[in-house]
Amino acid sequence: MDCLKGLMFFYKYQKPGNLEFNMLRRGETYFASVAELNDANECRPRFILKGSEELWQRLAQFVLERVCFGTEYYREKNLEEIRQILDLSQSVGRQLKKRARNRDVGIENLGESFVDVLGPSLEEKVPRLQSRLITRLARDFIDGELLGILKNEKYMASFSKNATNPTMWGHYAGAEKGFVIVYGTDDGTIHVKSPLDVLHGTRPLNEDGSCAEIGIYKNERLKLSEVAYGRRPPKVNAFHRLIHKFSYTEEEDHYDVPLQLGGDAQNKEESIIGLVKYSDWRYEQEVRAFFPTFGALTSDIRALSVSIDNIRGLILGPRMSCADKVRAVLCCHLMRESLDARASQAEKAVNNFVFFRARQVVDRFGFEILPVGILEGSYFDDHLPLKPLHDLEKPIADKLHEMAEIITARRT
């Protein structure tokens, strides 16, 4: 059994359901979309606008283009009339920037400000009734559609740093009838694989790593990041999500104007979207890995197998049935055999797969973790592929006790 020093353990609580057992058997973890998570505030940013005058002008043009080309009414109008309206984007953007000065402008205030600025300019160009219609269409787009355009999908796998929390066992492990998968990492990453080239990443092209290629691969090491807990969602500068949706001339595209404009918008907290949750979730002590992709993915593609080097063991729940315990052991055996068969010689499992059981502590709410044994490599008839603790050599048994103590010691 490998050395436990420097190893970080993290855990996945599971119910005793068919889906959970099947994923255990395949050694997979699922990367959920935001809509599939149990917190409606997941990945909800506080959108603000802060940028140069040019960005405000391009935003004004973006809104007016949607009004002119995205509604049935203006598809019937002539190009000259549309051109006159779009020409207002320069002055509208300039006035919006003047109003904003160098402050963070909440996206929820954009509609009212936009209409206030656009209205007087429109009345000089078009009849009053038409001006009212245009301002209403602009307000409807900003208040009704813009947030959907700003949406950026994320897929994440969630784990906990705590395997002994009673609330977690109750909520996520079938009221203690389920199990907890024990993962380990010595470099803060989890190694995942897919049968398809769907994982965006980089690979070094030389030994010192000074050159790298960007591509889409079948395997990747994903960083594990801790979730922070608070009462405010992170701020995101909406300009960063809109720059590549603005219109550009061929010459502007040729000279990489969209890339250059990114420097005109102050960075906020985009990097921590998905890593901030409301403070009442603090008990989860969550760590997350994100699916490395830039597009939308179906649910089947988001189930990835985890390296046998990361999957270290299983904790059986205090109220888990005997039948489910047997099923869990067999699923672990099938998982280990399957992952070993697909692994290269260098990736073959070198650490023992360990079974534990969680036992309720008498004088407080909580659990202690006790070693049960290790997974054996053979299965026949009624013989479970599990070598119990009392049959293990002392050095291995000592390691199991040490590992159990480490898991038990990690409490809220």
How far lies 174's CA from each of 199, 318, 339, 369, in Å?
Answer: 32, 11, 27, 18
Please say whether the beta carbons of 285 and 9 come within 8 A.
no
Tens of each residue's pLDDT in the chain, 412 residues: 456 777 899 999 999 999 999 999 999 999 999 999 989 889 999 999 999 999 999 999 999 999 888 766 666 667 778 888 899 999 999 999 999 999 999 999 999 999 999 999 888 888 888 889 899 999 999 999 999 999 888 999 999 999 999 999 999 999 999 999 999 999 999 999 999 999 999 888 887 777 889 999 999 999 999 999 999 999 999 999 999 999 999 998 888 988 899 888 888 898 999 999 999 999 999 999 999 998 899 999 999 999 989 999 999 999 999 999 999 999 999 998 887 776 655 555 567 899 999 999 888 888 999 999 999 877 777 788 999 999 999 999 999 999 999 999 865 4
395, two tokens: 């050095």
The CA distance from 6 to 52, in Å, is 47
Asked whether the CA dihedral 169, 171, 177, 180 is positive or negative, the reply is: negative
Predicted pLDDT at 129: 84
**Reported pTM:** 0.89
How far lies 329's CA from each of 54, 161, 205, 334, 354, in Å?
Answer: 62, 23, 42, 9, 10
Predicted pLDDT at 382: 74
Residue 82: count of CB within 10 angstroms of its CB: 17
Residue 296: count of CB within 10 angstroms of its CB: 8
Predicted pLDDT at 238: 95
Number of residues assigned to the chain? 412
C-beta contacts of 2-6 below 8 A and 24+ residues apart: 2/350, 2/351, 4/399, 4/402, 4/403, 4/406, 6/186
Interior angle at CA 165, CA 161 and CA 166, nearest 5: 160
For residue 256, give the 3-state DSSP assignment: coil
DSSP characters for 90-116? HHHHHHHHHHHTTSPEEGGGHHHHHHH
How far lies 386's CA from each of 168, 325, 372, 376, in Å?
Answer: 27, 11, 9, 5
The CA distance from 68 to 70, in Å, is 6
